[in-house]
Structure 1
Amino acid sequence: MSHDLTRAGLLGLAAATVAAGMAGHDARAQSGARMHQRKIASSGEMLPVVGCGTWRTFDVGRQPQDRAPLAEVLAVLFAAGGSVIDSSPMYGASEGVVGDLLAAAGTRDKAFLATKVWTSGRDAGIAQMKKSMALLRTDRIDLMQVHNLVDWRTHLPTLRAWKAEGRIRYLGITHYTDSAHDELERVLRAETWDFVQLDYALDDRAVERRLLPLAAERGVAVIVNQPFGGGGLLRRLLPRPLPAWAAEIGATSWAQILLKFVLAHPAVTCVIPGTGKPQHMRDNVQAGLGPYPDAALLKRMVAEVGG
C-alpha cells in the first residue's frame, strides 16, 4: 500500500477514535473555526500558521486531471483561513502552476505568495525574480527568499531595493539541512531579515538550540519546512494507533500531531507541509486550530515519538 493511500485511509479512523475524547476539549483552544494567526515581528501583520509547500507536489503539466486536485488543495487552504503558498524556481513548473490556479480562481488576494531567488549573480537574480513574478501572475511578491543561501550577499541589496519600491513586501533567507545551520546563524546575525525558513520536526530538533532562539531575539519570522521529518517520520507513525494524549491537543491524525509539535514553539510563525492531495490539506489545516502541547507534553512527545 502506498504512503498516500495509507495516510488517507487512516484519517477517518483516527478522527473517529479521538472524537470520543474531545468532549472535555482543553480550554486553551481558541474559539471559532478560523485558523490561528501569528505576528510577523518586522511589521506586526498577522499570518495564518499553516500554509502549503509546493516542492514536487505542484510540479505538474497542464492536464486538467493533474491540476484539478491542486486547485482544490488551494481552495481548502483558503477556506480554512490559510494563505501562505511557498514555491521556488527550483521546483520545476510549480510557480507557473500556482500562478495559473490563482488566476483561474480569482484568489490571488487570498494568497501570501512566497518564492525564492536561486541563482548566482546580480543580473541573473533579477532576471529570475522577474520570471517568477510573471509565472505567478503578480506584480508583487509577498516574500522573496534567498534559496539555500545561494549568493545571498549579492542578492540582498536587490531585495532591499525591491522592498523599498514595493515589488516585494518581505525578504528572507532559507535552508533545509542541519549542515547549513552554522552558516545560517552567521547570516541571521550579520544582516536584518524579515523571515527565515528552516527545517524542524519532532525527529529533527537541531534548530531548537540556537536558530529558533536567535530568530526570536532578532525579530525574524520563522517558516518551517519538512515538518514531517522529510516524510520518513510520518510514514513510520501511520501504522501506529494515536496516543491517548492526542485528544489533549485536539489532534485526530499523526500529521496533526507532528504539525502541532512544530507550532508549539513560540518562535515558529508558520509551517508549510507540502501536498498535492486535497484530503491531506484538509487534515493539515486542522493543526491550525485548537490548543498546542505544553512543556510537559512536548517532553513526552519527544520521548515517545521523537527518538
Structure 2
Amino acid sequence: MHTPSRRRFLATLGAAVIAAHSPGPLAAAPSGRRRIPRDGRTVPAIGLGTWQAFDYADDAAADRDALATLKLLADAAGVVDSSPMYGRSEAVLGRLLRDADPERAVFVATKVWTRGKSEGRAQIDESMRLIGRDPIDLLQIHNLSDYDTQLATVLELKAAGRVRYAGATHYTAGAHAELVRAIEGGKLDFVQVNYSLREREAARTVFPAARANGVAVLVNRPFAEGDVFRATKGKPLPDFAREIGAASWAQYALKFILGEAAVTCAIPGTRNPKHCADNLGAATGPMPDAALCRRMAEHFDTL
C-alpha cells in the first residue's frame, strides 16, 4: 500500500517538474492510458526503458535515483522494459522493484536474446529470476534474433501462463520489413520499434501493419539517442506547443509520438526522477492530430 508520505513525495515531485513550465488550462489531464488491442487492458502511454540507465553496479546515488524513478512508475502502474542485452539492468530492476513496487502494479517487459531453444529457455528463466516476476507481462524476441525458434518458446510459455503477451523488437528502419512480416504472422501481441521526430519511418511501415493486425506498439528511441535534444538545445518551444500542453522539448517529442494512434506506449530511458516525471507529463492534456504532427515535424526540421 502507498503510504501518505510516499504519495506526497510523488505528487510534489511530479507537480513541481510539470508545473514549472505549465501552460495553464491546456494541461488538463485525460486518463493518459491506451488499450492493448489483444484484450483491451490499458497501460499508461509513457513508460520507462532501462538500457544504459539501469546498467550500473555499487552506486548509491544511482540507486536512489533509479528507486525514485521506479516509484513514480509504480504509482502510475506503468510499463518498464529491459533485456538480457542490457548488462546488469535486469538485476538492478529486479532488486529495486521489490521496494518500489510491492503491489506488483508495474507492467514488466523483457526480452530473449540468444540462439537455440535450450539457450533461449535458460535465458528466459534467468531473466524471470533476476527481475523477480513469473509470470512476466511481456516477453519479446530482441532484434528478431533466432525469431522462429524463440517465438515458439515464448508461445509455449504464454500457453502455460508464464508469459502474458508475446512480442518482437528492433531499433532500426532497415529491419521494419522483417517486423511487418512478424506482425502479419498473426502470433504477436506487441511489437517494439524505433520512432521519433528524427526517425519517422515506422509511421509508413510498421504502424499500418500493427493497426491492421491488432498488435500493440511500444516505441523505443523516442529521443533518437539524444539527437532530439541536441537539435533543440537552447531553442524555445514554438508557440503552438501550448495547443497540446507541451511544457518541455521532451514532452513535445513524446506528444508527437503519441499523436500516432497505433502507438500504445513510448518508453524513454532514464533513471532521473525529474526527467521521468516530465516524461510522464507528456501523457496528459490534448494530443496532436495528424495536421499538428506534421507541423511539429516540420518545425523540428528547421532547427
Question: What is the DSSP-based 3-state SS (H/G/I as helix, E as strand, rest coil) of the residue aligned with 1:144?
Answer: strand
Partner residue, 1:138: 133
> How far apart are residue 15 of structure 1 and its match?
5.8
Aligned mates of 1:45, 1:151 — CA distance in 2: 29
Aligned mates of 1:74, 1:219 — CA distance in 2: 29
> How far apart are residue 231 of structure 1 and its match?
1.1
Q: Give the alignment's TM-score, normalised by structure 1.
A: 0.89
The yes-or-no answer on 1:192 pairing with 2:187 is yes
Equivalent pairs counted in the alignment come to 287
CA separation of 1:286 and 1:266: change in aligned 2, threshold 3 A:
same
The yes-or-no answer on 1:58 pairing with 2:54 is yes
Contact 1:51/1:271 (<8 A) preserved: yes
Question: What is the DSSP-based 3-state SS (H/G/I as helix, E as strand, rest coil) of the residue aligned with 1:50?
Answer: coil
Aligned mates of 1:87, 1:107 — CA distance in 2: 19
Partner residue, 1:4: none
Aligned mates of 1:239, 1:110 — CA distance in 2: 38
Partner residue, 1:179: 174
Contact 2:177/2:205 (<8 A) preserved: no
CA separation of 1:13 and 1:69: change in aligned 2, threshold 3 A:
closer
Offset from partner CA, 1:263-291 (integer Å, 9 cap, x none): 11000000000001111101100001111
Equivalent of 1:224 in 199, 215, 219:
219
Aligned mates of 1:106, 1:226 — CA distance in 2: 25
Partner residue, 2:43: 47
Q: Give the alignment's TM-score, normalised by structure 2.
A: 0.90
For the aligned residues, what is the CA RMSD? 1.8
After TM superposition, the runs of 4+ consecutive aligned structure 1 residues lying more than 6 A away are: none
Question: What is the DSSP-based 3-state SS (H/G/I as helix, E as strand, rest coil) of the residue aligned with 1:120?
Answer: coil
Gaps of 5+ in 2: 1-15
Partner residue, 1:9: none
Gaps of 5+ in 1: 1-11
The yes-or-no answer on 1:282 pairing with 2:254 is no
The yes-or-no answer on 1:22 pairing with 2:24 is yes
Aligned mates of 2:171, 2:287 — CA distance in 1: 24
Greater alpha carbon shift after TM alignment, 128-137 vs 180-189: 180-189
Offset from partner CA, 1:30-69 (integer Å, 9 cap, x none): 54xxx51111111111111110000000001133222111
Contact 1:15/1:253 (<8 A) preserved: no
Partner residue, 2:86: 91
Partner residue, 1:74: 70
Equivalent of 2:95 in 100, 117, 122:
100
Contact 1:49/1:82 (<8 A) preserved: no
The yes-or-no answer on 1:258 pairing with 2:246 is no
Contact 2:18/2:278 (<8 A) preserved: no
